[in-house]
């Protein structure tokens, strides 16, 4: 077998694998989209896109007086924006301190962050519930946001610290020679150069409140405080409300703010990839 034939076979297997993975990823998504246009309530349909498709479920979500969907959407966006912003800010400060300074307990602090990542978040749910109840933040979006921010610090700090370590220290020294202080170096040198990794942190932390169900289920009790994942669960959980088609319509709309966030941060993500590809 010559090299050209072998190369064609390898490329064919690659395309077959990519096609197989595309079907696995796209089929549930396309089925959910088709289900959202089904005017009935059943989970099953003869075709992926129903013949008598309708926008009745989308109209109900936005315009029906009994629908709390817009409230859940607003709550999710508020938590997502706050979580993304404060996670990036706190993580950047923590990672900068561990990357650029030597202080007592630094090594143990890094080990503690690494150790905290080894345990599943479910182990802390009872403690989180008791703590929020003690400080009066149970059934509160503020309490939920604080848990999200605090829970992401160990992983994000390790991630951003590794990126800060790749930035030459000569830039810090040059800035200090020009009269910049600690905060000057941080805001003028480190943050602009770390935009790609901070964009990744912002995107991941923005996505979490839209897709997470377990934590809001434990923290939130009042329907007016529900996030989207928790609110939509009621469409298929209530005894007489197994409305899978309405659940599908509400689930599809979750992708809109995440897609907009990705498009907003796309230039920073691409800049990070191109910078890494040309660095040598």
Mean pLDDT within 5-34: 87
Residue 36 CA to residue 186 CA, distance in Å, equals 48
Which residues, 6+ apart, have CB-to-CB distance to 72 below 8 Å? 226, 227, 228, 230, 231, 232
Whole-number Å distance between alpha carbons of 52 and 46: 12
Check whether 195 has a pLDDT greater than 60: yes
pLDDT value at 127 more than 70: yes
How confident is the model at residue 46, as a pLDDT? 65
Q: Please report, for the chain, the start and end positions of each structural domain, with discontinuous segments joined by +.
A: 16-54, 61-278
Q: How confident is the model at residue 144 (pLDDT cuts 50, 70, 90)?
A: very high
Q: To the nearest whole number, what is the mean pLDDT of the chain?
A: 85
Q: Which two tokens stand for residue 191?
A: 């943050």
Return the structure tokens found at 97: 């301190």
The predicted pLDDT at position 3 comes to 77
At 43, is the pLDDT very low, low, confident or very high (cuts 50, 70, 90)? low
Question: What is the predicted pLDDT for the residue at 279?
Answer: 44
pLDDT of residue 280: 41
Predicted TM-score (pTM) of the model is 0.84
CATH of domain 61-278: 1.10.3720.10
Give dist(CA 221, CA 196) in Å, integer.
37
pLDDT score at 243: 77
Q: CB neighbours (10 Å) of residue 148?
A: 23
Q: What is the DSSP string of 105-131?
A: THHHHHHHHHHHTTS-GGGGHHHHHHH
Helices (H), 117-168: 125-134, 141-165
Which of the pair, 241 or 106, is modelled with greater confidence? 106
């Amino acid at each position: 077998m010559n090299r050209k034939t072998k190369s064609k076979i390898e490329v064919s297997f690659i395309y077959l694998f990519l096609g197989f993975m595309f079907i696995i990823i796209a089929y549930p998504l396309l089925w959910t989209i088709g289900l959202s246009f089904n005017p009935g309530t059943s989970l099953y349909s003869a075709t992926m896109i129903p013949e008598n498709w309708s926008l009745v479920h989308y109209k109900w979500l936005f315009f029906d007086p009994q629908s709390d969907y817009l409230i859940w959407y607003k709550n999710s966006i508020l938590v997502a924006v706050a979580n993304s912003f404060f996670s990036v800010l706190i993580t950047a400060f923590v990672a900068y301190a561990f990357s650029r300074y030597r202080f007592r307990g630094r090594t143990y602090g890094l080990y503690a962050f690494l150790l905290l990542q080894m345990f599943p978040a479910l182990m802390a749910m009872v403690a989180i519930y008791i703590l929020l109840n003690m400080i009066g933040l149970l059934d509160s979006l503020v309490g939920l946001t604080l848990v999200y921010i605090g829970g992401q610090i160990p992983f994000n700090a390790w991630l951003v610290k590794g990126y800060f370590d790749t930035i030459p220290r000569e830039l810090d020294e040059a800035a200090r020679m020009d009269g910049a202080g600690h905060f000057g170096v941080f805001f003028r040198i480190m943050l602009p150069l770390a935009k790609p990794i901070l964009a990744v942190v912002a995107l991941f932390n923005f996505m979490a409140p839209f897709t997470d169900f377990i934590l809001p289920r434990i923290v939130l009790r009042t329907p007016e405080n529900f996030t989207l994942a928790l609110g939509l669960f009621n469409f298929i959980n209530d005894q007489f409300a197994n409305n899978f088609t309405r659940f599908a319509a509400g689930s599809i709309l979750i992708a809109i703010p995440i897609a907009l966030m990705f498009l907003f941060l796309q230039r920073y993500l691409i800049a990070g990839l191109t910078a890494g590809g040309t660095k040598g």
